[in-house]
A and B are shown apart, each in its own frame.
Chain A
Amino acid sequence: MHNKSTYLGIIQDVKGTTVSVTLANESLSGLTYVDGEGYRIGQIGSFVKIPIGYVDLFGIVTQVGASAVPENQVATQPYGNRWMTIQLIGEGQRNGKFQRGISQYPTISDEIHLVSESDLQRIYGQSDKPYFVKVGHIAGAESIPALIDINKLITRHSAIVGTTGSGKSTTVASILNALSDREKYPSARILVFDIHGEYAQALKNKANIFKVNADKTEGSIEKDLFIPFWALNFEELCNVSLGAFGNEKDENIVLERILLAKLESIKSYPKDGINVETMNVDSPVAFNLNKLWYELYIECFATYYSRNSGNPIDNLAYERDGSGSELKGNMETAISPIFRKPKNEKEDNEKINYLPGNLNIGQQLLSLGAKLRIPRFNFLFKPGPWTPGPDGKTEEDLGSLIKEWIGSDKPITILDLSGVPIDILNTIIGVLLRIIYEGLFWARNLSQGGKNRPLLILMEEAHNYLNTESSALSIVQKIVKEGRKYGMGAMIVSQRPSEINSTILSQCGTFFALRLANATDRAHITSAVTDNLEGLTSMLPILRTGEAIILGEAVKLPMRTLIEAPPKDKRPDSQDPIIYDEKDLENSLYPGGWGIKMEENPNYDEFVEAWRGQSPFIKRIIKE
Chain B
Amino acid sequence: MKRQHVESSNIASIGYDEKSQTLEIEFLNGGVYQYFDVSVNIYNSLMLAASHGQYLAQHIKGYYRYIKV
Cβ contact within 8 Å between B63 and A599: yes
User: Which of A87-95, A285-293, A587-595 is near enough to bind chain B?
Assistant: A587-595
CB < 8 Å: which of B1, B27, B28, B65 contacts A603? B65
- Residues 51-64 of chain B: 1 if any A CB is under 8 Å from the residue's CB, otherwise 0? 10110110001111
CB < 8 Å: which of B1, B9, B36, B66 contacts A591? B66
Minimum CB distance partner of B30 in chain A: A569
Cβ contact within 8 Å between A586 and B36: no
Q: Which of A487-537 contact B (CB under 8 A)?
A: none
B28 contact set on A, CB distance < 8 A: 589
Given A568-B29, A589-B27, A590-B31: A599 touches B62 (CB 8 Å cut-off): yes
B33 contact set on A, CB distance < 8 A: 591
B20 CB–A CB distance under 8 Å? yes
- In Å, the complex CA distance between A616 and B24 comes to 17
* Residues of chain B at the chain A interface (Cβ within 8 Å): 1, 9-10, 17, 20, 22, 24-25, 27-31, 33-36, 51, 53-54, 56-57, 61-69
A624 CB–B CB distance under 8 Å? yes
B24 contact set on A, CB distance < 8 A: 622
Cβ contact within 8 Å between A597 and B65: no
B29 contact set on A, CB distance < 8 A: 568, 589
Cβ contact within 8 Å between A624 and B31: no
Given A598-B62, A621-B69, A624-B1: A586 touches B54 (CB 8 Å cut-off): yes
- In Å, the complex CA distance between A583 and B11 comes to 14
Q: Which of A573-624 contact B (CB under 8 A)?
A: 583, 585-592, 596-600, 602-603, 606, 616, 618, 620-624
A contact residues, total (Cβ < 8 Å): 26
B36 contact set on A, CB distance < 8 A: 620
A568 contact set on B, CB distance < 8 A: 29-30
A585 contact set on B, CB distance < 8 A: 57, 61
Minimum CB distance partner of B52 in chain A: A586
* Residues of chain A at the chain B interface (Cβ within 8 Å): 568-569, 583, 585-592, 596-600, 602-603, 606, 616, 618, 620-624
- In Å, the complex CA distance between A569 and B31 comes to 8
Determine the main DSSP class of A at the interface with B.
Answer: loop
Cβ contact within 8 Å between A622 and B34: yes
B67 contact set on A, CB distance < 8 A: 606, 616, 618, 620-621
Minimum CB distance partner of A610 in chain B: B67
Give the top 9 A-B pairs by smallest Cβ distance, nearest first.
A569-B30, A597-B62, A585-B57, A589-B27, A586-B57, A589-B29, A568-B30, A622-B22, A586-B53
Cβ contact within 8 Å between B34 and A621: yes
Cβ contact within 8 Å between B9 and A586: yes
B51 contact set on A, CB distance < 8 A: 586
- In Å, the complex CA distance between A587 and B28 comes to 10
- In Å, the complex CA distance between A568 and B56 comes to 23
CB < 8 Å: which of A596, A600, A603, A622 contacts B61? A596
A-B contact pairs, 12 of them (CB 8 A): A568-B30, A569-B30, A586-B54, A588-B57, A589-B28, A596-B61, A602-B65, A618-B67, A622-B1, A622-B20, A622-B34, A623-B1
A599 contact set on B, CB distance < 8 A: 62-65
- In Å, the complex CA distance between A587 and B25 comes to 14
- In Å, the complex CA distance between A618 and B22 comes to 14
